[in-house]
Structure 1
Amino acid sequence: MSVVIAAALPCGLLIGLLLGALGGGGSILAVPALVYLLGQSAHDATAGALVVVAVGSVPGLACHARAGRTRWAAGMAFGALGTAGTYVGSRWSAAVAPTVLMTAFAGLMFVVAVALVLRSLRERRAAKPATDAASGEVADAGALRAAPDAQDPTEAQDSPGAHPPTPPPAPPHTHPARITRPVRLARIARIAATATAVGLLTGFFGVGGGFLVVPALTLVLGLEMPVAIGTSLLVILINSLTALATRAGTGALDWPLLTAFAACAAIGSYLGNRLTTRLPAQTLTAAFAALVTLLAVTMAAAAIPRL
């Protein structure tokens, strides 16, 4: 086993762990690892990263699907809507100078770090009301036990002199289609725009775009976070395969290196899926955001002087 392939093993394992645990985002580490640690050119790295991302997403997708956390119809529709962006991004990437590509990639990593921090803050705010509600229920239960002679609200309603509440006035009649049609069209437009943006990033940078897919599936489609993570892996797989098909024949890939890298990513993805039940998602997200920020600063320092 060569030194280069041996170095690819821990890199692939780390990327797979993040891919399985966070449902994307970890794939953004594939390009810097291939360029700075494994000696690949910028264009070969963005193409090779697609192989790593596609293979690494399969075990995680299988685990999430087995647990019922994958919406196949929504994922395939989202991935199909992004194929045009994937094609354009792949063609555009081949025409860009390597230094420009790596500088843009450093900028993308800054954006990903900010998105991860915002995602962590949203999760923290969403978890706080649930904690407060649970504390309130405990307090209410204690108050009822402390005052057993308190009057039952149902008895107060049945007592003489009690009057039933006045029902609210009926709203004016409006045809449902006049309200729902513009809402549906706006929602479809948002989904298509987001899917196209994810496909563009996948084709241009060789990343899965999970940092965009998970929030989009949560906010636009209304999926819960565990389901959004499982479904995002299906979208990442579709986008990666589309970008690989577009780039076919445009360069020579180091298949022994990529095979070892992708195999470790697949193992890491399986293990990362197990981590989601053992480690808080906020801890993983915060640690990953710090790592991405550090890599972005390093890449920008190395690429900008060469422009």
Structure 2
Amino acid sequence: MGAGVLVGFTLGLVGGGGSILAVPLMVYLVGVDNPHVAIGTSALAVAVNAATNLANHARRGNVKWACAGVFALAGVAGAFLGSSLGKAFDGQKLLMLFALLMIVVGVLMLKKRDAQGDPDVHLSRQNAPRLLLGGGLAGALSGFFGIGGGFLIVPGLVAATRMPMLYAVGSSLLAVTAFGLTTALNYARSGLVDWALAAVFIGGGLFGGLFGARLATHLSRRRGTLNAVFAALIFVTALYMLVKSALAIHGAR
């Protein structure tokens, strides 16, 4: 339950981070032996928690619905394709690639931590192609790594539209929900979802998400703080996953 609270809190705080934390928590803390089961189960739990956090951010006016909708629709097909490929890939190597991708995204977010963004951004002919391309790519990576994809979606939305970080966090949760459900259903077809464990994570996440959304609104008032928190969370978790995955692969030899 505590792990679920932490996942829900990070989803509400930075839009991403739910699956970033859910997968390693299930593998290294809860003790789920099969990485694919951890991926499928976390995708379901994060999707449900993301939907709840989306409602929290929507009440605060932090969601750009049109931009988020285009991004999410473009990513669903990519998520299905990516998750089909991910199921056929070695679990430990999948976790290691996941960690390396997290580090790259963290560096990119730090570079843009001082950007203010355009709070009046809306869907247009100029940003629609970028949203479609970014959504498709984020969806494919999200499905391949079995994640909700928030840590990919947030920078994708910022790059495509120049929306402020707080709006990207809130808007990303629509796509996190869509990508997560697509991935979870694909994994469930192969029996790779632990429904009881998912329920525990969902219960804890509902509680943690309320506090995460409040803190995100507070931190957004301080220039660059929310971006820095987002990147720091990614770096710490990625380094931990790299060490654990490397030891697991070495031990299997």
Q: TM-score, normalised by structure 2?
A: 0.84
**CA contact 1:87–1:200 (8 Å) conserved in 2:** yes
SS of aligned partner of 1:123: coil
What is aligned with 1:289?
A: 234
Q: Tell me how far apart the structure 2 counterparts of residues 36 and 116 of structure 1 sit (CA, whole Å).
A: 22
What does 1:50-199 align with in structure 2 at a 5 Å threshold? 50-96=43-89, 100-124=90-114, 126=115, 184=125, 187-199=127-139
What is aligned with 1:28?
A: 20
Q: Tell me how far apart the structure 2 counterparts of residues 252 and 117 of structure 1 sit (CA, whole Å).
A: 32
Q: Give the counterpart letter for 1:122 in structure 2.
A: K
Aligned-pair RMSD on alpha carbons? Answer: 2.3
SS of aligned partner of 1:220: helix
Q: Tell me how far apart the structure 2 counterparts of residues 286 and 63 of structure 1 sit (CA, whole Å).
A: 22
**CA contact 2:65–2:171 (8 Å) conserved in 1:** yes
What is aligned with 1:38?
A: 30
Q: 1:98-136 CA deviation, whole Å, 9 max, x = no partner?
A: xx3322322222321332243134213x37xxxxxxxxx
What is aligned with 2:147?
A: 207
Provide structure 1 residue ranges, at least 5 long, that are not aligned to the other structure.
Answer: 1-8, 128-182
How far does residue 288 in structure 1 lie from its aligned partner after superposition?
Answer: 0.9
How far does residue 20 in structure 1 lie from its aligned partner after superposition?
Answer: 0.9
**CA contact 1:58–1:266 (8 Å) conserved in 2:** no
Instruction: Report whether the alignment pairs 1:260 with 2:252.
Output: no
Q: Tell me how far apart the structure 2 counterparts of residues 283 and 222 of structure 1 sit (CA, whole Å).
A: 17
Which consecutive segments of 4 or more residues in structure 1 shift more than 6 A?
A: none
How far does residue 286 in structure 1 lie from its aligned partner after superposition?
Answer: 4.8
Q: Tell me how far apart the structure 2 counterparts of residues 287 and 223 of structure 1 sit (CA, whole Å).
A: 21
> Share of identical aligned residues, percent?
36
What is aligned with 2:176?
A: 236
**CA contact 1:57–1:266 (8 Å) conserved in 2:** no
What is aligned with 2:245?
A: 300
How far does residue 302 in structure 1 lie from its aligned partner after superposition?
Answer: 2.6
What is aligned with 1:47?
A: 40
Q: Give the counterpart letter for 2:38 in structure 1.
A: A
How far does residue 253 in structure 1 lie from its aligned partner after superposition?
Answer: 3.0
Q: Tell me how far apart the structure 1 counterparts of residues 173 and 105 of structure 2 sit (CA, whole Å).
A: 18
Q: Give the counterpart letter for 1:29 in structure 2.
A: L
SS of aligned partner of 1:235: helix
Q: Tell me how far apart the structure 1 counterparts of residues 186 and 246 of structure 2 sit (CA, whole Å).
A: 31
**CA contact 1:23–1:214 (8 Å) conserved in 2:** yes
**CA contact 1:85–1:196 (8 Å) conserved in 2:** yes
How far does residue 241 in structure 1 lie from its aligned partner after superposition?
Answer: 1.4
How far does residue 283 in structure 1 lie from its aligned partner after superposition?
Answer: 5.1
Q: 1:140-159 CA deviation, whole Å, 9 max, x = no partner?
A: xxxxxxxxxxxxxxxxxxxx
Instruction: Report whether the alignment pairs 1:15 with 2:35.
Output: no
How far does residue 197 in structure 1 lie from its aligned partner after superposition?
Answer: 1.7
Q: Give the counterpart letter for 2:236 in structure 1.
A: L
Q: Tell me how far apart the structure 1 counterparts of residues 11 and 239 of structure 2 sit (CA, whole Å).
A: 19
What is aligned with 1:166?
A: none
**CA contact 1:103–1:299 (8 Å) conserved in 2:** no
Q: Tell me how far apart the structure 2 counterparts of residues 49 and 189 of structure 1 sit (CA, whole Å).
A: 30
